[in-house]
Amino acid sequence: MDTSKIRALLAAADMGSISKAAEALGYTQSAVTHMMRSLEDEAGFPLLLRGNRGVSLTPDGERLAPLFRELVHTDDRLMQEFALTRGVERGEVRIGTYSSISLHWIPQILEEFLKRYPNIEVELLEGNAEEIEEWLSSGRIDIAYTSLRPYFTFDTVKILDDPMYAILPRSHPRAKDKTFPITAFKGESFLVYVSDTRPELDIKQAMDQAGVSMNGRFSSNFDMTILAMVEHNLGVTILPKLILDGASAKVAAMPIDPPITRSLGMAVRSMADASPAMKRFMSCTKEVLGIE
């Protein structure tokens, strides 16, 4: 099976547009349309739904997408090994991460990585925890920079424990305290930051143990919105330190007692099956961030 057709199918599905896929892959729109029809003829059933709002995979296409991505990944890995044998560093690595990690870690990693490997392309996708996990499971991305969960079946590399901070308006009576007891959240108007469809699991568990409800007054999956709400005296919240670094909101922030942390790191589907480009990106990450 021609992997170029499969690449075109996945690009069209990911971008929701045949024309955008054609532009990204360097084809004409008619060429990609022809490739899609040829692939569907070969499969014997439709793979792409076409409509006024763009394109998407059919149910059969969705079912086969992980196999398609694995086939493309294997082909990429083989081509990269061929290039290495010829003494050339080339390939592509697809990264999925939070916006806070994109802001604080990824630029310095990319700067060093592109100095070393200018012929390896990097694609960066930003999303919430749930999206990143799904992208990695489906093969949409190669490496996830995310919160490491006990239930992960991925291979992981821990980067650091990111402490959670209590965020209060500067007018709050405890605004100048050095720490904030988690029990002190009782009775407060709590603003819930949801990094995916759920609040941060570590925070919820700690607050449940302390008998504090997380049924907050407002919720948002955008951290800067939550900070702005606190700044305007709409309530208090808990956010990871990494989000606070460099934030301009005029709020009070302090460690929580007892401490709560989230474990951040890299995750891949299989370290044994990682491509040369993936291995080099992960190695560069360790060096730049000082990981043993």
CATH at 201: 3.40.190.10
Q: Are 193 and 223 in contact (CB under 8 A)?
A: yes
Count of structural domains, the chain: 1
Residue 186 located in a structural domain: yes
**Would you write out the chain's pLDDT as a tens digit for each of its 292 residues?**
688 999 899 999 988 999 999 988 889 999 999 998 999 999 999 999 988 888 999 999 999 998 998 888 888 888 877 877 766 677 889 999 988 898 899 999 999 999 999 888 899 999 888 889 999 998 889 999 998 988 899 999 999 999 989 999 999 999 999 999 988 888 888 887 766 444 455 677 777 777 776 666 676 777 888 899 999 999 898 888 988 887 888 999 999 999 988 899 999 999 998 888 899 999 999 999 998 7
Question: Residue 230 corresponds to which tokens in the numbers above?
Answer: 């606190």
**pLDDT at residue number 136:** 93
**pLDDT at residue number 197:** 42
Residue 278 located in a structural domain: no
CA 99 to chain centre: 8
Give the Cα separation of 117 and 199 in Å (integer).
Answer: 38
Q: Are 56 and 86 in contact (CB under 8 A)?
A: no
Q: Are 4 and 11 in contact (CB under 8 A)?
A: no
Residues 6+ apart with CB under 8 A from 288: 105, 108, 109, 112
Residue 180 located in a structural domain: yes
Residue 149 located in a structural domain: no
Give the Cα separation of 22 and 30 in Å (integer).
Answer: 9
CA 54 to chain centre: 24
Q: Is 172 helix (H, G, I), strand (E, B) or coil?
A: coil
**pLDDT at residue number 195:** 61
Residue 61 located in a structural domain: no
Residue 49 has phi, psi (to 5 degrees) of -90, 130
> Rounded to two decimals, what is the model's pTM?
0.73
Residue 125 located in a structural domain: no
Give the Cα separation of 87 and 90 in Å (integer).
Answer: 10
For residues 85, 124, 63 and 52, what is the CA-based torsion angle, rounded to 10 degrees?
-130
Residue 217 is part of which domain span? 161-260
**pLDDT at residue number 1:** 67
Residue 100 located in a structural domain: no
Radius of gyration of the chain (CA): 22
Residue 185 located in a structural domain: yes
